[in-house]
Structure 1
């Protein structure tokens, strides 16, 4: 026999195997990568399957069809679906097992019905995908609208806090709840003591700055072991602005005292980022609404094909009844 190294000209299937995988394995010898014949054939080889009309070949193809349906049901997780596409023998232009069965019976109506069933199945898959996209767009649109509303509410609170900081006329200094010396070193030592001793996972007020509350909160890792304390400045409406990325205080006493001021200095950039986020969400919303407003363009085609398929089914049933009637009459006359 030919090998792939010498060049496999194609695949000829004179007898039908018992498993769909055996059929694919035969074809794979010709179509797999490395077949040098494909270099001169536009990367194509011929796959020829032989069948004899009105013989048990139709029965054999029907077995392969049912086996392939079962395999696809398992692979696709559609075990509850009774009618599925059993795939094509050739991924581009070949026929499916059902079309082979129809062709070998000698009934063109069966062949036409098999083709209609395949097209209907394809359209139903497209409709299912369209519906999923429509539902996903509705869900995303609802979430986006909610995020925009929350984002605008948060932005208003941030802008109010920034206005308060810019218009503050009192003395901008840290005042701790614990009695400490009102010096840089005293306040720094007080904050350092809080950073070492606090273990409460809830926001705890420790003082004030420019009329705003100063908070601390213990952070724990996944093993529920203490990691560090994070320090915050609380806005007028409850917004909490963390110092830096982790909230941990710097080492120097002077820098510790400056943590509220350095936190509030980031307010303009935080507000700008919030505005950009809202603008991005507002830009996504029209796209989602456009998807929601679309209607599936192939609904009329699917309805027409289903009507044609039903009419063809009734015709096939009538033809079968008419072909059985002479046999029954002959049996009656013989009796």
Structure 2
């Protein structure tokens, strides 16, 4: 959706106009106008999938008037309160140098942002909904690196050092390429070099073994499995791509008759897995790639086959097999061969199997990691991002600010430490989790302290006085009731609309006649009974009359259509006063106990303060050490610019021209 903003070249901030988005915005504004802001309902499982700026778009759709009221209808105003932009040197898209690029790197005032968002958002997490989804058991499968992988990881470290030092043209190598190669290497060494051997024990081979075991165990029920892999996906051959792209009936007719020249197929993990599964006895027709279903009709047919168990192993990427893939009926296992970049992608993967409609009570999610590569760190990073988003969306975040989650490349320090097998990386990740947990506990402790202080100052005194008033009122009403007892074998009499009636039947009938004149929920006085003033109100929704007996307190009875039965209901309501009195006294005792307990607890320090302080200090120390170690001694960062661009440094090194006379300089200063 189009944004009016003065910001330019901010990464992740699109100002282009999409017709469907503008159309949706116009319809939302129209519905808000004719319904008073109650005409549009959005439903989504991932309101924040990549960046916190997505919240602004949601707010613009659903609470535009509120944003205008707060002076935040324009994105720049919203961003100035909740976001912070940072300019840093990043690789230019054309790969010919570095350029200064501005992006949102931090968000702050998060409690206020979420309070504003929750005015239009009813956030329900899975643990709140208790949906009938299967229990998920997670399995982390760790594969040991091969000797080739170990050597390649060392080479990644050397490449990162060269890129960081500026000694290599960024068109040839850069951090994005290194990160991409690191992810490929963690999956299978043959993606980097197809000539390398297929060694046993790799995570691809372990995945094949697990798939086969689950396939055998689920033969009777035709249980199915999903395999997610975003790297090394199957690609159509170039010649066939060209033929398909040309809208020529003759070409399509001759496609089968004339063989197209096909190059040697490149290695892909997908084909490798299919070949190994078939070799171990799985029928080829029970294995499918989501990429083969390249139309909506084919995709529906494929999904139907998976739901019925005709296809029992489906391989695909997050993009093609994530949102919209409903094949959960027989799913018993999901295999994550690689780690996606975005937390939302991880949630979409898991959502394919942890879903309503799955006939299995327990399902399994396998996550494969190659030790000593980027795998473990990437999983930890993405899961931490997802935890942060989950905390934000459930208002449990212990922080007022956060870094944005939109990152697709590791920093030099991270690559250097990972490739060196630095144990401090794992220590830092563990500390990061511990510090976040302790901060959450401290925030909860502080919240309870503030609540107790407020209760001691306002809530307990007000409630205690209120309950004391209830007790006095009930005791006075009980005295009133005792002063107007029922005669032994007769009716005490009731006054209805000025007439005193001593016959039960007549009194009940007169009361029903008086009720007919009451048309709304506003109580109308109709008489008195045993010293209590009587009034009646009508609930149009429930279609029933309620009688209130007013003394020091109010006592209610719901009226029916039986005249004598109504009098019995009224007497029963009055007879409940002793029980009400005992209940109020018990509530008063409970309030005194809560007040005493709050006085003991208020002011107590956070019990884990020392642990939080020590771990926070160690975390800061590790961050400093890792950043220091990221630079080689005496190595200086340089900025690689385009070769055609004039060198600023060379210009600064040129000798300065001789200074002019003082008088001339003075004249120049005066003119300036």
- The two structures have a TM-score, normalised by structure 2, of 0.34
Question: C-alpha offsets along residues 217-238 of structure 1, whole Å, 9 cap, x if unaligned?
Answer: 11121xxxx6021112111x3x
| Distance in 1 (alpha carbons) for counterparts of 2:376 and 2:485 | 90
Matching of residue 204 in structure 1 with residue 524 in structure 2: yes
State the Cα distance separating 1:207 from its structure 2 match.
0.9
Matching of residue 242 in structure 1 with residue 552 in structure 2: no
- Residue of structure 2 equivalent to 1:12: 143
Tell me if the contact between 1:116 and 1:305 (Cα under 8 Å) persists in the aligned partners.
no
Which runs of no fewer than 5 residues in structure 2 stay unpaired? Answer: 1-138, 150-181, 189-201, 215-367, 406-411, 639-672
State the Cα distance separating 1:268 from its structure 2 match.
0.8
| Distance in 1 (alpha carbons) for counterparts of 2:480 and 2:539 | 29
Tell me if the contact between 2:512 and 2:563 (Cα under 8 Å) persists in the aligned partners.
no
Matching of residue 301 in structure 1 with residue 611 in structure 2: yes
Tell me if the contact between 1:249 and 1:256 (Cα under 8 Å) persists in the aligned partners.
yes
Question: C-alpha offsets along residues 153-175 of structure 1, whole Å, 9 cap, x if unaligned?
Answer: 22221112112222458984311
Matching of residue 147 in structure 1 with residue 467 in structure 2: no
- Residue of structure 2 equivalent to 1:275: 585
- Residue of structure 2 equivalent to 1:131: 443
Matching of residues 48-87 of structure 1 within 5 Å: 49-51=370-372, 57=373, 70-77=385-392, 81-82=402-403
State the Cα distance separating 1:102 from its structure 2 match.
6.4
Q: Secondary structure at the match of 2:633?
A: helix
Question: C-alpha offsets along residues 204-261 of structure 1, whole Å, 9 cap, x if unaligned?
Answer: 111112332011111121xxxx6021112111x3x21012xxx1146144x4445544
Q: 2:562 aligns with which of 251, 255, 260?
A: 251
- Relative to structure 1, the CA distance from residue 19 to residue 248 in structure 2 (aligned partners, 3 Å threshold; closer, same or farther) is farther
Question: C-alpha offsets along residues 290-328 of structure 1, whole Å, 9 cap, x if unaligned?
Answer: 554432122223323333444444445555556235999
| Distance in 1 (alpha carbons) for counterparts of 2:142 and 2:481 | 81
| Distance in 2 (alpha carbons) for counterparts of 1:149 and 1:278 | 9
- Relative to structure 1, the CA distance from residue 323 to residue 153 in structure 2 (aligned partners, 3 Å threshold; closer, same or farther) is same
Tell me if the contact between 2:143 and 2:370 (Cα under 8 Å) persists in the aligned partners.
yes
Question: C-alpha offsets along residues 251-289 of structure 1, whole Å, 9 cap, x if unaligned?
Answer: 144x44455443322211111122223333433444455
Tell me if the contact between 2:533 and 2:550 (Cα under 8 Å) persists in the aligned partners.
yes
| Distance in 2 (alpha carbons) for counterparts of 1:218 and 1:189 | 17
Matching of residues 181-196 of structure 1 within 5 Å: 182-196=502-516
Matched residue count: 282
Q: Secondary structure at the match of 1:128?
A: helix
State the Cα distance separating 1:83 from its structure 2 match.
8.4
Tell me if the contact between 1:20 and 1:67 (Cα under 8 Å) persists in the aligned partners.
no
Tell me if the contact between 1:231 and 1:248 (Cα under 8 Å) persists in the aligned partners.
yes
| Distance in 2 (alpha carbons) for counterparts of 1:82 and 1:272 | 55
- Relative to structure 1, the CA distance from residue 318 to residue 190 in structure 2 (aligned partners, 3 Å threshold; closer, same or farther) is closer
Computed over aligned residues only, the root mean square deviation of the Cα atoms, in angstroms, reads 4.9
Range 149-158 or range 258-267, more displaced: 258-267
- Relative to structure 1, the CA distance from residue 139 to residue 289 in structure 2 (aligned partners, 3 Å threshold; closer, same or farther) is same
| Distance in 1 (alpha carbons) for counterparts of 2:532 and 2:475 | 15
Matching of residue 323 in structure 1 with residue 643 in structure 2: no
- Residue of structure 1 equivalent to 2:124: none
Q: 1:218 aligns with which of 500, 522, 538?
A: 538
Tell me if the contact between 1:180 and 1:190 (Cα under 8 Å) persists in the aligned partners.
no
- Relative to structure 1, the CA distance from residue 320 to residue 20 in structure 2 (aligned partners, 3 Å threshold; closer, same or farther) is closer
| Distance in 1 (alpha carbons) for counterparts of 2:208 and 2:465 | 60
Range 18-27 or range 183-192, more displaced: 18-27
Matching of residue 233 in structure 1 with residue 553 in structure 2: no
Q: Secondary structure at the match of 1:324?
A: coil
Tell me if the contact between 1:99 and 1:115 (Cα under 8 Å) persists in the aligned partners.
no
Question: C-alpha offsets along residues 26-47 of structure 1, whole Å, 9 cap, x if unaligned?
Answer: 9888899x88xxxxxxxxxxx8
Tell me if the contact between 2:493 and 2:501 (Cα under 8 Å) persists in the aligned partners.
no
